[in-house]
Structure 1
């Protein structure tokens, strides 16, 4: 695990360096520093635990891309926290969040081309996506109301529901629509929360983000429920045991043999 520890230490150093650059350029305040450092500690702990569970000794090429994206997400988190506390403007947040969203399409390609796909990488990528959407929904909620938080909290609510309903952990079939909806969330929330659009257009973007996410989750939940019911029906169906009947030939006398040979 030595290599992984060094990689994590390098990532933590890069995160602190990014926070320092933001402090020097846009004047990151105490709230931003607190949020950024808390993100760094949380990322270290979660990544170490996931790597230990997966038995990984180091990060692969695609994981380094995801780690870079996570560092940018830490910067976005610091900027959002500072902005909501009356601090830094959002001019730097848009390019930072845009690069983080763009890199989401890169780590998967790197994993496929280098043949280094792993459960750790997939989990790291998914958790980074989910947290970025949560942070961006917090930003948009500051403008349009707390209902926008449903966008960022929906995935975590789904995970919590799966503890009580294990069938929600079932495997889902691949879906291009699910990927498109997931990618749209970040774009729409950045546009809605960063004042790039007029108020009504930003509100519409947030509504579209929530509506498409509800549709996507609802469709997947319905599919998983139907699959679960089908499994229960198959398990409760009576089993039919087919028995093979073996008929032993009876001895026959000469007349019977003579009659049988006359039949064509």
Structure 2
């Protein structure tokens, strides 16, 4: 009897903690409300299953508690019950996977008018590259990374000479415009993550991964590394500033290009 009461209290306490908890995810600042919706669907499905299973366990503990003279019935198989459990489990898994697949398709389908921005992770800082006046990024090669060329840009590529290079500084983005975020690492695994954007992706050495976002709220947001990358992992922080177009252009004009960087190094 006591065990059944404890199980019921576990259900009541868990649901109350979820409903009344002051801790929730940060306020959304991008177009990815679909990710929030998918998580909420998952919470509902797993929550209902959790409550149903624990309450069923409590009922079984109470209903079939020990009584003098009562003997258990041995039933090794119940095909009807197995079909019901298999079918309900399949429906539950499909209900959780289907929204995720829809959102994933949107996540990897970049709008044609998206501007490319490159983010480079290294132990333990973030660097950024934005297209210059030509509107496109030049090529890069990790083997060309050096003190004078921290992002490993190809010096002979004319398309990259006007690229804006920001080493260990702030990244600014204009509000309301889609951005394709290209992700690159020069050493170990990293993961660029701004909680308010919801979107994130691993940065794998030797690969260029990506995601896209449309910032929907101005403000200053913290950048975190969501992949354990060494002893300085906890200190690998950065800042993204989302601002109006006029302020963004004014900031962009003040940044150094790759050509200016190499000229000053000479």
Instruction: Give the structure-2-normalised TM-score.
Output: 0.25
- Please state which structure has a larger fraction of its residues in helix: 1
Structure with more contact order per residue of length (Cα contacts < 8 Å, sep ≥ 6): 2
User: Highest CA radius of gyration, 1 or 2?
Assistant: 1
What is the TM-score of this pair, normalised by structure 1? 0.25
